[in-house]
Amino acid sequence: MRIAVLGGGPSGEHEVSLASAASVREGLEAAGHTVLAVEITRDGQWLHDAIELQLTPAGGLLDCDVVFPALHGPYGEDGVVQGVLEALAVPYVGSGVASSALCIDKVLSKQLLSTAGIPQVAHLALARASFDLDRAAALAALARLGSPVFVKPARMGSSVGISKVGEGGLELLGALESAFEHDDLVIIEASAPGIEVECSVLGERPPRASQPGEIVLHSDFYDYAAKYEPGGMELVVPARLAPGALAAVRRLAVSVFKLCGCADLARVDFFVDGDEVLVNELNTMPGFTPTSVYAKLWEAEGIPYPELVDRLCRLALARNEHRRAGAAASGARPATG
């Protein structure tokens, strides 16, 4: 196949995305494909061989069969680039516009999971306007979550703008102000006991979950540095859980993937304490760097990296053909994605 791999983007995860894209390109080339690199600059230009691309509706992208958008955070995981690729009428790896927008919004996605009875970490959402209007009331409500808490921008990606806060109002105020610099909606999560566990989902028919992996941290919490810097954490596969908890993690990972309308891939994160399994969040385009968990979990299942990225591209093409066939049967405009 002829495959375009997108990297970069205007989010705070630009550099990580470039690293993910480089790994994806290497894997696809090892699988025998023709791969074209497309870098999206911090100001939103699309470049191939240092030349700006002119994007034309329904015009495809560099005559490629499929696009792998190895983009993280806003613009890459929130439905924006997915909408562009839909307009270009080119098949692409990963979730579509609606599910991408839903999953990057931690408040909306947790509300959806709550309606389905999915067990989650206790949390509260706080809008900047409400916080500015009555800070005392907001802090009183947050106090019910106990201590420590984790303060996060609601619509950012991998650990950007996140703070762990112990007791103390001034520390919490500083964490909220820091999160509000990234987003005018913030989510505050209670501390969960137990261990952090991650599970990769492959969107086959039916979707299937990998063996869960246990995150062993060498820092206070799973922040940006722990996630992406060498030595920041250790991955233990399978996670050291009781058989019932292992099964529950895999079952819930697939349930959340399907409930959120995801496609091709996702990583679902959990906290597990004995037999209690709590969903933390879902990532529609997890990292693909050499230290990233998603591919390592499938490698432990016997799927090497080149085969994995090849399989993801083939899943995207098969899904696109299925949608085109359905559209043709109904007389509607063929869809992509």
Q: Which residues are annotated as catalytic?
A: 13, 158, 228, 267, 269, 281, 283, 287
In the 8-state DSSP scheme, what is residue 210? -
H or E segment to which residue 287 belongs:
none
Q: Could you give the CA distance from residue 80 to residue 263 in angstroms, rounded to a whole number?
A: 16
Q: Could you give the CA distance from residue 224 to residue 198 in angstroms, rounded to a whole number?
A: 16
H or E segment to which residue 102 belongs:
helix 97-104
Give me 216's structure tokens.
């062993």
DSSP string, 118-166: --B--EEEEEHHHHHH-HHHHHHHHHTT-SSEEEEETT--SSTT-EEE-
Give me 65's structure tokens.
């069969």
Contacts of 157 (CB under 8 A, 6+ apart): 11, 12, 13, 72, 73, 74, 76, 77, 104, 283
Phi, then psi, of 150 in degrees rounded to 5: -115, 125
Give me 317's structure tokens.
């093409």
